[in-house]
Amino acid sequence: MFSTEEYKIKEAPTCPHCKHKMTKTVPPPYSLGEGFGWGVSYLWICFNDECSLFVRGWEHMKENYGKIASYRFMCLPDNGMTETIAVFSHDGLRGGIVEEDKEEEQG
Ligand SMILES: [Zn+2]
């Protein structure tokens, strides 16, 4: 069990690339990078499609790896470490978004 009480970053951080608020997201079942396991119950991810990191990522991946992919900026809530996480479409990782404070009003 993870205790979110011990997390250092409990409030949505701001993406340094686009200044948008990041979104709480359940980690995908895979991890990226050597020896990098998630170890957290959620991640902070920037889902702004105009984020400079995300926009440049498509070109970077195509030029360097010949792949249709990009990456989004993410932050680990437990220690504040920042990373990038690969996505293969604009909707990548969106399935894990935790919608906490919906501003929509019903009725
Ligand atoms: Zn961003």
3-state SS of the chain is CCCHHHCCCCCCCECCCCCCECEEECCCCCCCCCCCCCCCCCEEECCCCCCHHHHHHHHHHHHHHCCCCEEEEEECCCCCCEEEEEECCCCCCHHHECCCCCCCCCC
* pLDDT tens by residue, 14-72: 999 999 999 999 987 765 555 556 788 899 999 999 999 999 999 999 999 999 999 99
Q: How far is the CA of 45 from the centre of ligand 1 (A)?
A: 8
Residue spans per domain, the chain? 11-96
- What integer pLDDT is reported at residue 22 of this predicted model? 97
Single pTM value for the model:
0.82
Q: How far is the CA of 107 from the centre of ligand 1 (A)?
A: 33
State which residues have CB under 5 angstroms from ligand 1, the bound ion.
Answer: 15, 17-18, 46, 48, 51, 73
Query: Mean pLDDT, the chain, as a whole number?
Result: 87
